[in-house]
Amino acid sequence: MVLAANKPDVLITTYLEMSSKDEFTSSFIQATDIEIVKMEMPDLGFYKFLYQSVGEEWAWRDRLVMPNAELRKILSSDKTQVHVLYVSGSPAGYVELFKHDDDSVEIMYFGLRRDYMGRGLGKHLLSYGIDSAWKMDATRVWLHTCNLDGPHALTNYQKRGFKIFKVEEEPMPELYT
């Protein structure tokens, strides 16, 4: 795990949004060995595998400490979509979308497993997720990232057209230590 002695004392969370599909700059790659499949049935074991293998390095904890019944309810909701990226048949990452009551769609979780980083798959999967969010009749698409996430996350979001609308700083929550 990345969080070692040099873990920051302050959590900096950056919120980004896209208020129109016209702001979206996609970046899809052409490859015959990749596909993205919507998870149609909540499979907690597979979901937790994805969540942990994508997020362990970045201190993702929320879904691992959540009771299974609560997680199953979220994943079973018609407001939630989970899209899994496969490379040559192996799960490489995922994007999770949630449609809020105000019709905004939040990219709740997004990322790749370590072995699939550095190949352009992140911008491809993010582009797919943004496009899917707009297809959910979103009034806006938004997300947040923080200083514990991958070093290219913020840049990738901004290159896709997201604009920063809020930055918050707080002492590092105990959950991430």
Residue 99 within any structural domain of the chain: yes
Domain of 60 in residue numbering reads as 10-176
- Between residues 11 and 167, the one the model is more confident about: 167
Instruction: Give tens-digit pLDDT for 57-111.
Output: 888 888 999 999 999 999 999 999 999 999 999 999 999 999 999 999 999 999 9
d(Cα 29, Cα 139) in Å, to the nearest integer?
27
Residue 117 within any structural domain of the chain: yes
Residue 2 within any structural domain of the chain: no
Residue 126 within any structural domain of the chain: yes
Q: What is the arithmetic mean of pLDDT over 35-57?
A: 94
Residue 5 within any structural domain of the chain: no
Beta bridge pairs of residue 37:
84
Q: How many domains does the chain have?
A: 1
Alpha helices of the chain — where are they, by DSSP H?
A: 44-55, 62-65, 68-76, 121-135, 153-159
Q: What is the arithmetic mean of pLDDT over 19-23?
A: 97
pLDDT at 148: 84
pLDDT at 151: 83
pLDDT at 115: 94
pLDDT at 6: 64
Residue 141 within any structural domain of the chain: yes
Those residues whose C-beta lies under 8 Å from the C-beta of residue 139, and which sit 6 or more positions away, are 19, 102, 103, 104
Number of residues assigned to the chain? 177
Those residues whose C-beta lies under 8 Å from the C-beta of residue 122, and which sit 6 or more positions away, are 93, 111, 112, 152, 156
**pTM value?**
0.92
pLDDT at 163: 98
The domain that holds 141 is classified in CATH as 3.40.630.30
d(Cα 110, Cα 153) in Å, to the nearest integer?
10
Percent of the chain topping pLDDT 90? 81
